[in-house]
Chains A and B, each alone.
Chain A
Amino acid sequence: MAKVPVQFTLNGSEKAEFVDSGTALLNALRDKIGDTSPKGGCHQGTCGACSVIIDGELRLSCLTLAETCNGAAIITTAGLAEAGVLHPLQRAFLDAFATQCGFCTPGMIMAAKVLLDRTPNPSRQDVVEALSGNICRCTGYEPIIQAVLTAARTNSQNAA
């Protein structure tokens, strides 16, 4: 099978890999680059566990071909904490008991980050809509929604 070169920045670092043509970004990140924070839940674009941020947009890495990401800036949950200091969203998820098994958590945090980057003071409805593509099977959505709202408040206090 033809190998294609792909280059992008992942959480600020340059990455270059050869992948089989047709490889999903999810598999390239997990199997080639070793960032296993995006999770494969359904591999068909319905659960949101593999969500990553590509050039500021929330994307499903299981449905994104790695070879289409040349030159892109990709952010995953593994790159969110800076120098060991948790991002306000991570801190809020931790404090709000918004994780149980944790499998949906990286995707949830990515979806929430895109929301807060665009809408710093979201309404509850904004949060619900932003997370609507992400399925959680054990925590229940309410603690997750509360965590995102708390992170938004923390952000706006820090900005003030």
Chain B
Amino acid sequence: MELRKNYFADVRKDGLHEIGQPRPRLDSPGHVTGRTTYFADRNFPGMLHLKMVRSPHHHARIRSIDTSEAEKHPGVVKVLTARDVPHNVYTILILIQIGPEDETVLADGKVRWKGEAVVAVLAETERAAQEAAAKVKVDYEVLPAVFDMEEALKPGAPLVNEYHGQNYYLYDSGECRKVRFGDVEAGFAQADHILEQSYQSSPIEHAPTETTGCVVTPEGNDRFTCYTNTQAMFFTLDNTSIILQMPGSKLHFVGGTVGGGFGGKVDVIVEPIAILGAKLTGRPVCFIYSREEEMQISSPRAAEKIVVKDGVMKDGRIVARKVTGYTDAGAYSRHSPYGAQKGAAHYPGPYTIPNVWIDTYCVYTNRTPSSAMRGFGVTIGDFALEVQMDKLARLIGLDPLEFRFINAYRDGDTKAHRQPTEGAALIECMQEASRAANWPVAEKYMAMSSYRKGA
């Protein structure tokens, strides 16, 4: 890799010893010899297998649960319901004071999405657990469900999650995250052209090669060791501590190599119930998603809808941008309120626009809860914004790359959230990209710099 030292020569620190140097990965010798230990490579004598009974309905009241037949099934050791979970209602981000707690470990009284965990069965073999799970009888009263975000926001829509009281996350700024900068209507009034477009995406599954799971073993001293492929060790440890009402000192979490995650393993889903199973049976427990569960139950990237309205001048300057973003959290929050908030901060793009107005909603629907995935909250936004930039350039007859040079933020520019831009290198990146792609731009753009002396 070539380290370009001609850029920002007067401001750049040069005491770098790692950047630009090849370093072998620490874990790859284990990978190529098959010696790397993933959580499921551990096997303990007497280990029980946990299988979940899941809701076949998108939205339903639970009238009754009958586990008697399952409990009699050969090989079954324990059957767990909501009553067995010490603090059954939780939310992952409560650790950073983002509530309310809105999700059940095991469904209590109601299910809000198809696939929601209702009853956990622990048995001597995977097969026995599977067969017994099929014998659990749950009596459901099916309720009307809502799957579309704009439908969910309409008055009279079925209420998805009572812990919120409405089908959107209530931010401290109100029903959505807001960015207000300049006077967006004055900007549109002044613009030569206005373009409003709507963009939307589907949920995306991470599909890691190794499915989500954990193996728990009781240590005999009232401590439990949990081998897990979580991507968020301390979120998991602390949430488990809250859910099980056990001090963190009783919980020993062992991470290690994760067989693909991409954000799909940051939720706290498998560990609390597996540890509870180990606590109540005194035996090691493994809870591993089947491939089918991984694809259908694990939280995907949220579906999003983004409406972008831009006002642009004939000379290429964007003078106004109004964005309304909707993030489909599914039935529970998990990381989605944060994703929607990131979108609000991101929609001005890496561009200097004097008048900006942004609303982003985190919406609850009866769909699979969505959560983190590589750049969640901004990735679909970037797709929408950059397609919009190409359309704007075409609208006013400018080269799309030159159009971006005109609007690129540079050091000292004030961003829509009123932070001064620092350390921007967008101009330089675009200059290199235009060379690499043989995409010629006018000399005046090649002479520009993100760095402004004194900025």
Contacts and interface: CB of A to CB of B under 8 A. Distances in A.
A59 interface: no
B168 to A, nearest CB: 33
A81 B259 CA distance: 22
A1 to B, nearest CB: 9
Contacts of B259: 39, 41, 101-103
Given A43-B291, A101-B209, A81 B262 contact: no
B43 A102 contact: no
Main DSSP-derived SS at the B contact region: loop
B35 interface: yes
Contacts of A41: 209-211, 259, 291
B260 A103 contact: yes
A36 B30 CA distance: 12
A63 to B, nearest CB: 13
Most buried by B among A36, A102, A105, A109: A102
B134 interface: no
A4 interface: no
A102 B27 contact: yes
A101 B207 contact: no
Nearest to B208: A137
A43 to B, nearest CB: 6
Given A86-B32, A101-B258, A101-B260, A42 B291 contact: yes
Contacts of B446: none
B372 to A, nearest CB: 16
A135 to B, nearest CB: 6
A99 B25 contact: yes
A99 B31 contact: yes
Nearest to B27: A102
Contacts of B291: 41-44
A94 B210 CA distance: 21
Contacts of B31: 93, 99, 101-102, 105
B257 interface: yes
A77 B29 CA distance: 12
A93 B32 contact: yes
Contacts of A104: 209
Contacts of B155: none
Contacts of A106: 34
A137 B209 contact: yes
Given A39-B210, A44-B291, A78-B35, A102 B28 contact: yes
A47 interface: yes
B33 A99 contact: no
Given A101-B257, A138-B260, A30 B43 contact: yes
A104 B28 CA distance: 12
A135 B40 CA distance: 19
A16 B38 CA distance: 26
B68 interface: no
Contact of B36 (A35, A43, A44, A102): A102
Most buried by A among B32, B38, B207, B259: B32
Interface residues of B, number: 31
A114 interface: no
Contacts of A81: 33
Contacts of B27: 102
Nearest to B211: A41
Nearest to B294: A42
B24 interface: yes
B41 interface: yes
B208 A94 contact: no
A137 B262 contact: yes
Interface string A147-158: 000000000000
Nearest to B41: A36
A44 B261 CA distance: 20
B281 interface: no
Nearest to A99: B31
A112 B257 CA distance: 23
A106 B210 CA distance: 13
Contact of A99 (B28, B38, B208, B261): B28
A135 B383 CA distance: 26
Contacts of B211: 41
Interface in B16-59: 24-25, 27-38, 40-41, 43
A37 interface: yes
Contacts of A91: 32
A102 B210 CA distance: 10
A78 B260 CA distance: 21
A91 B25 CA distance: 13
Nearest to B206: A137
Interface string A117-160: 00000000000000000011110000000000000000000000
21 contacts: A36-B34, A36-B41, A37-B35, A40-B40, A41-B211, A41-B291, A43-B290, A49-B209, A76-B34, A80-B34, A86-B33, A91-B32, A94-B32, A99-B31, A101-B261, A102-B257, A103-B38, A103-B210, A103-B260, A105-B32, A137-B260
Given A37-B34, A43-B291, A94-B24, 16 more contacts: A34-B43, A37-B35, A38-B34, A41-B210, A78-B33, A86-B33, A91-B32, A99-B31, A101-B208, A101-B257, A101-B261, A102-B28, A103-B259, A109-B32, A137-B262, A138-B262
Interface of A: 30-31, 34-44, 47, 49, 76-78, 80-81, 86, 89-91, 93-94, 97, 99, 101-106, 109, 135-138
